[in-house]
Amino acid sequence: MIAYNVNKIREDFPILNVKVHGKPLIYLDNAATSQKPKQVIQAEKDYYETINANIHRGVHKLSEDATAGYEEAHEKAADFIGADNLDEDSNIEQIIFTRNTTESLNLLAYSLSNSKIDTGGGNNKADTIFELKEGDDILITQAEHHANLVPWQQLAKKLKLKLKFAKISLDSNDDEDFGTLDVQQFNELVTKKTKIVAVAQMGNVLGTINDAREIGKIVHENNPSALFIVDGAQSVAHSKVDVAKLGCDFFAFSGHKMLAPTGIGVLFGKKNLLEQMKPFMYGGDMIRKVTFEDTLYNDLPWKFEAGTPNIAGGIALGSAIDYLQKIGMENIFAHEQELTRYALKRLEEFEDITIYGPRKMSEKRTGIISFNIDGIHAHDVASIFDQHGIAIRGGHHCAMPLMSLLNVAGTARISFYLYNKKEEVDKVVDAIKSVKKIFA
């Protein structure tokens, strides 16, 4: 492992020089969105200053350069998540650019509700046909972000499906497994009626890491016609992802949580599935031929990218991927694990703090720590932190059903990224002392 120089990395992030209420910014709201390095900011600026043009439609130099940059970004995204390890002719055909993880998951909910697909996952063809019918099951977990809950909930209502939830451990006395999934329960939950299983690889509230590879294996062994969808919004920014090893059918993530601009997201899908799915939107660039009577759709991935896309955002996403690849995802993950271990140890100094999620470091947790201070609302905690120049999140974190299970209105949440350091954890401890003093 190369030496990890966090101070050198911080030099690439202009916003870290900003002062908030007269104090240096400490940014610990990375689970919501990450900050952007100057290399990514410059990439978007360069697009608008040098090659701003629409793609796929012009024969002039600007359009050709913009098209090349946008398509190269698809290739970089494929390589970043291991899609290049799949036995496919073209990796770019498996990478669809969307606005964010939410749009990617909504795209799936809409398109899968209107499609009949041969998943090719078994010996008996009759057992490999995916088609949603009344009485079928959709399986998610109790800890999902609204983006991976509401689309399936509403789809279930519309088609009269059954939405099932894999349970998390709610034993607050279990320092290691509190908030984690029992993966083996999927053996009981995935049946012949289960058509969709959608799980976050990394939790945005509890900081838990789910064994998506094992879940995917169980899903496909128990039901060859079921589709396994992974919400990678949190995981892809912090750890090495390989969709070939995960065995997932679809993988969704957002650029803005991994140093890229807002408004650019990615949906990976297996080529044979995407080819059989109906489009999410209709219009320009997703067509090959249109007559007054009918429409012939374009090739992948453009079939699912209707209209003028976020070209600048796509190119900047490619720059963000370059930046992360240069540092190394393994190095980033190790750095964040060290920070989390230190933070958990420092938080042990307070007897009146409840941590939601594993309180001991293991392969089951990452750099997201949700907590409450007895008798003090999370919004008040976040507000006082802000007066110290520390940006954290206070609230339900788009996971209201999970909050109801935890029997809280919300939590305060700190979340680390590659540019955070131990000294900032110490400032968090000072801010907690200030909160307690104010509310004494």
Q: Are 139 and 164 in contact (CB under 8 A)?
A: yes
Q: Which of 150, 183, 287, 398 is catalytic?
A: 398
Q: Are 235 and 202 in contact (CB under 8 A)?
A: yes
Q: Are 142 and 405 in contact (CB under 8 A)?
A: yes
248 is known as an active-site residue: no
d(CA 401, CA 167): 12
Q: Are 398 and 411 in contact (CB under 8 A)?
A: no
Which residues touch 283 (CB under 8 Å, ≥6 apart)?
306, 307
Q: What are the Cα distances from residue 349, in Å, to 13, 357, 374, 435? A: 32, 17, 14, 15
d(CA 151, CA 103): 10
**Residues carrying an active site annotation:** 398
